[in-house]
Amino acid sequence: MPLPSFGGPLGYKRAAHLLHRATYGPTKLQIDSFATLTASQAIPLLFQQPLPDPILPIDPETGKEWVLTGTTDANSGDSDLQEFFKGWFISQMMGTGIPPSNYLAYATREKIVFFLHSVFTTIQSKVDNSRSLYFQNQLYRKFAFDKTLPIEFNIKTLIKKVSIDNAMLRLLDGNQNVNGSVNENYGRELQELYTIGRGLEGTLPPATIPGDYFNYTEQDVRAAARVLSGWELDTTFSTYDPDITLYLTGTTQLPRGKVRGSVTNANAHDNTVKQFSDRYGNATIQPDPALLAGTNATEASAQDEIDQLIELIYSKPETARNFCRRIYRYYVYHEITQAIDDTIIAEMANTFSTGGYKLQPVLEDLFQSQHFYDAAAGVGDDAFGGIIKSPLDLLVGAFRIFKIQLPDPVASAATFYERTGELIRDLEDMGMHFYEPYDVAGYDAYHQFPIYHRSWISTNYLIRRYEFIRKIISDNQAMPGALKVDVVAFVQTNISNATASNAQALIMELAKYFLPVTDNLTFDPALDDTSGLTAERMNYFLTAFLKAPQIDADPEGAWAFRWNNPVDMEVVRRQLESLFNAMLQSPEYQLY
């Protein structure tokens, strides 16, 4: 049954919470709009369809795309093209070129694409091919909004396709896995990282038998590796997935890996019976005689064995539950207690399995749930401000609320990639090596027990976060054309004149949109109920705001006069920059 739902209008705090978690950040107008909606009214807007496929990335050397048609000597080198792909993906998260009416659904889809990348990850330096990176990214996009797609489009099917995807074959050495010399890397990670897992972290007993991983064993790793044997990279990108074209008419074909040998003689595939352990009910996987060519394995029989393997793994209820834990940690909170696992996660897994293992119904149910907002009477551990923003969420979220636009990715491709290259370096400075996680488990924040998202913060990374904010707010040394915020224009456009001219009212209004917990704000310590931001913090912002180039006898009155009588807008600008720097460099802004 669905999770208990949240009723009533969302209001500003819950609307901002939903839009920050489900997308890469809203504008003020979008928060205002969603604040009037109930959760059941809001969620369909995040999944509205149809949505366009992204415009293909352009190589500035040729002025043309390269991911579909391939490269020639006229193209940039592939190391550059890999960086262009990453900049292009970041621009999709920002909704570059997307009409405002489509942005929230578009960003919801792109956040799902990155979620899938965080689970079924890749490492740029190992894959080392721009087209492989692009096609895997596009594969995830095809499966992101799966509710209205044919039943074949679900997470089980996605994993079957990932298993023979060029990027994954390269990452985990599937292209080296051949009969007689089995490589177990992918067979191991498929079970440990991508599907059934070892169980709920923090509750696992010590292993008593070598090769016992609780939900699977070393025998299962070996058996899975043999099932997965016999595939290689298709460096020509001419072996297409027939299902994508069959079920999504008009879509661009997606290349995948190919069997070694030939379609009718997959001679590197282990064609014998694979015996699994008692963790899988002592099941066996063997080739379907109807798909063999005499006694030879074929592409169809090898692919059918992979289908059998994923179906076997998903026949265990723990697999659905483990995938739902990944969803929960990404969208809700890192800590999953046994009680939450037995209730919230169990219900999510039930929705997942009864819904045909589709992702979208689970997300829709979660985003409408009471638990997502933790707003029940007496709840003391509500979820607002519970996750440390990833550098990606921090960067894209800032660009979104301030409506900072990237250059046109087609008409000004070279400048576009200069700017996205700067953003990729900003992410690295803040601790996210985009498309270069430390290992095949992906970015530590999404899987590394027990620290999870706290891995984003160190003394150095926090300073770099603050430097990023200062750079976009008040860096007077920025190069011409740099991506910057016009704070005066932002206030003039988004805040009423009566509120903007009142220093305390302005801070309270901005807090609603920039900070996660903003109940009962006050500047009076005697009225402080400590339910969110304290009066001490509010007065800190006020002090940072009102300090001026000269001493004002009445700072708040002086601000009101300057705002209403714009004689020296440079002073107004510096004061607003001081306020925005104080608020956006605060610890509270690092959370969402």
Helix (H, G, I), strand (E, B), or coil: what is residue 15? helix
Pairing of strands 58-59, 64-65: antiparallel
pLDDT per residue over 179-228, tens digit each? 999 999 999 999 999 999 999 998 988 877 888 999 999 999 999 999 99
Query: Across 347-351, 531-535, 570-574, which has the greatest mean pLDDT?
Result: 347-351
DSSP conformation letters of 349-365: HHHHHHTTS-HHHHHHH
Predicted local confidence at residue 209, as pLDDT:
82
Residue 1 amino acid letter: M
Confidence label for 293 from pLDDT (cuts 50, 70 and 90): very high
pLDDT per residue over 296-325, tens digit each? 999 999 999 999 999 999 999 999 999 999
Predicted local confidence at residue 519, as pLDDT:
85
Question: At residue 419, does pLDDT exceed 50?
Answer: yes
- Round the average pLDDT of the chain to a whole number and report it: 94
Question: At residue 276, does pLDDT exceed 50?
Answer: yes
Residue 471 amino acid letter: K
Predicted local confidence at residue 548, as pLDDT:
64
- Kindly give, in sequence order, each residue whose CB lies less than 8 Å from that of residue 353, ignoring residues fewer than 6 positions away: 317, 320
Q: Compute the average pLDDT of residues 11-27.
A: 96
Predicted local confidence at residue 378, as pLDDT:
45
Confidence label for 138 from pLDDT (cuts 50, 70 and 90): very high
Q: Which residue has the higher pLDDT, 452 or 532?
A: 452
Do 123 and 436 meet the contact criterion of CB atoms below 8 Å apart? yes
Question: At residue 390, does pLDDT exceed 50?
Answer: yes
Do 306 and 164 meet the contact criterion of CB atoms below 8 Å apart? yes
Q: Which residue has the higher pLDDT, 280 or 205?
A: 280
DSSP conformation letters of 272-307: S-EE--GGGTT-EE---GGGSBTTB--HHHHHHHHH
What does the H/E/C string look like for 459-500? HHHHHHHHHHHHHHHHCCCCCCCCCCCCHHHHHHHHCCHHHH
State the sign of the Cα–Cα–Cα–Cα dihedral 362, 365, 371, 375.
positive
| Phi, psi of 131, deg, nearest 5 | -70, -40
Helices assigned H by DSSP within 315-358: 317-331, 338-340, 346-354
Q: What's the distance, CA 37 to chain centroid?
A: 25
Question: At residue 254, does pLDDT exceed 60?
Answer: yes
Rounded CA separation 576/546 (Å): 9
Q: Compute the average pLDDT of residues 520-537.
A: 88
Q: Compute the average pLDDT of residues 547-561.
A: 84
Predicted local confidence at residue 384, as pLDDT:
82
Angstrom CA distances, 454 to 123, 393, 445, 576, stand at 22, 14, 7, 31
- In this prediction, what percent of the chain has a pLDDT beyond 70? 96
pLDDT per residue over 454-483, tens digit each? 999 999 999 999 999 999 998 765 555 678
Rounded CA separation 28/9 (Å): 17
pLDDT per residue over 39-73, tens digit each? 999 999 999 989 988 999 999 999 999 999 999 99
Confidence label for 382 from pLDDT (cuts 50, 70 and 90): low
Length reported for the chain: 592
Question: At residue 584, does pLDDT exceed 60?
Answer: yes
Predicted local confidence at residue 52, as pLDDT:
85
| Lowest mean pLDDT across 97-111, 198-212, 398-412 | 198-212
Provide the 8-state DSSP code for 232: E
Q: In the chain, what are the domain boundaries?
A: 124-315, 487-590
